[in-house]
Amino acid sequence: MLSAILRLVINALILILTSYILPKGIGFDSFYAALITALVLSLMNLIIRPILIVLTLPINLLTLGLFTLVINAFLFWFASTIVKGFFVASFWSAFWAAIIFSLISAILNWVDYKINKNKGL
C-alpha cells in the first residue's frame, strides 16, 4: 500500500496530467499549487463529500447515482476558489476534469491492487 505522502504526490501528478488533457479547462501555476490542490481535494472528499451525498440522496437515487458526478465537479470547482494558483474555467471544465481525474485514479488504484495482490500483501 502506498504511503499517504506518495499518494498525495501521485494525485498532484494526475491533476497536472488532467490539466494537459484539458488545457483550456483547468490549469496550475506550479507543481506546488497542484500539490496543495491534491491535499485540498483529499480533505474535501473526506469531509464535505459524504455530507453532500447524504443531503442529495433523493436526487442521487432518482438519477441512479449520476448526480455524484455533479457533486465531484462541484468539489473540483470549489477547490479552485480555495487554492491560489489553481484555475478552473467553468463548471463543465470542472465536470470533465473530475471525470478524467477519477478515471486515472481508479486505473492507478487497480494497478496498485494487482501489484500488491501478486506480492501476497
Q: Domain locations in the chain? A: 4-119
How many other C-beta atoms are found inside a 10 Å radius of the C-beta of residue 106?
10
Residue 2 pLDDT exceeds 60: no
pLDDT at 120 over 90: no
pLDDT band at residue 36 under the 50/70/90 scheme: very high
Q: Exposed, middle or buried by CB within 10 Å (0-12, 13-18, 19+), for 23?
A: exposed
71 within 8 A of 49, measured Cβ to Cβ: yes
Whether the predicted pLDDT of 88 surpasses 70: yes
Spatial CB neighbours of 44, under 8 Å, sequence gap ≥ 6: 75, 78, 79
DSSP state of 63: T
Question: pLDDT > 90: what percent of the chain?
Answer: 83
- Give 73: exposed, middle or buried? Use CB within 10 Å, 0-12, 13-18, 19+: buried
User: What value, to the nearest 5°, has the Cα angle with vertex 105 and ends 102 and 111?
Assistant: 140
DSSP code for 83: S
**CA-based angle 66:73:3, to the nearest 5?**
100
- As a whole number of angstroms, the distance between CA 52 and CA 104 comes to 23
Mean pLDDT of the chain: 92
